[in-house]
Amino acid sequence: MTRRERLQVFSGNASHDLASKICEHLGISLGNLELQRFPDGEIDLKVKDDVRGSDIFVIQSTCPPVNENLMELLILIDCFKRASAEQITAVIPYFGYARQDRKSEGRVPITAKLVANLITKAGADRVLTIDLHATQIQGFFDITVDHLFANPVLIDYFQQLKIPNLVVVSPDVGGVKVVRAYAKKLSAPLAIVDKRRSGPRETEAVHIIGDIKGKNIIIVDDMISTGGTIAQAARALQARGARDIYVCATHPVLCGDAVEKLEKAPIKEMVVTDTIPFNHKNNKKFIKVLSISKLLSEAIRRIHNSESVSSLFT
């Protein structure tokens, strides 16, 4: 085997379990490295495997603690670059800092662009990610971005539930395009919650567009952070006569008391993926976690073999 043909997968601390599952699917061992902290908190990394000339995939979600995980990712990329890897793909199942993707008012940063610059400058040759908060963030990178959708995994689960009288709901107007794909595949009509954001942590569900009375509902969102958007949407839907309410989201950021907040809302089941590790004490009762490891491993295999990635979704 020539070195460029050698595929190696490494993980930062944010994505260890997911990376191990990906390696199982690929039939390889997870790369060996030591990732610790110096006494002052700085990151102390030593890669134990030879990576010269290899095709490296480094898996790290930039989920909370966001700054720690982002810095780990940058240091990992820098390390592989300096160790003469042939190609480095930053596999970022959850891409954090994505919400500030434009100057929506004066004197605010565009953090999504800043993070794209940092990853590129550190030495990544490609990025592989899932359900970006805004798909145009792909264009913030001047390197190749392969953007995957978690919907095959999530839709498959709901198809098996065979929920009757179903309506798929977007919890805000911005999510309609994504939610339409779910509605189409589940052969269900679409409704929209007209959400107003009154601050970074507060939202208000105002109106519902569409017929939801007496219907079973799946609310679809890309991520759940404080849980405010989903909890309010579920309450508004119930108040207007919806029956069973399911929630489906790719990225379980679930910060602070989000899980407790969602448990108090009229939600029958919440389904998320493992782009972000989730080990809440109540997760068995209420939250189902589906793995996107098979999808990611197949994308990695195809990138390594220069095969089509988009055909995974046709």
CA dist., res. 133 & res. 131, Å (int): 6
Work out how close the CB of 144 gets to ligand R5P at its nearest, in angstroms, rounded to a whole number.
25
CA distances from 123 to 19, 59, 76, 187, 218 (A): 21, 15, 10, 44, 40
Residue 94: CB partners within 8 Å, gap ≥ 6?
Answer: 61, 62, 63, 130, 223, 251, 253, 275, 276
Count how many residues are written for the chain.
314
Work out how close the CB of 205 gets to ligand R5P at its nearest, in angstroms, rounded to a whole number.
11
Of 40 and 105, CB closest to ligand R5P: 105
- For this structure, is 285 an active site residue? no
* Contacts with ligand R5P, residue ranges (CB under 6 A): 171-172, 174-175, 203, 221-229
CA dist., res. 314 & res. 135, Å (int): 18
Of 216 and 226, CB closest to ligand R5P: 226
CA dist., res. 212 & res. 168, Å (int): 9
Put the strands of the sheet holding 144-148 in their side by side order. 7-11, 55-59, 87-92, 126-130, 144-148
Of 100 and 120, CB closest to ligand R5P: 100
Work out how close the CB of 137 gets to ligand R5P at its nearest, in angstroms, rounded to a whole number.
13
Of 87 and 100, CB closest to ligand R5P: 100
Q: How far is CA 61 from the centre of its chain?
A: 8
Catalytic pick among 195, 213, 215, 285: 195
Work out how close the CB of 224 gets to ligand R5P at its nearest, in angstroms, rounded to a whole number.
5
* Catalytic residue annotation: 195
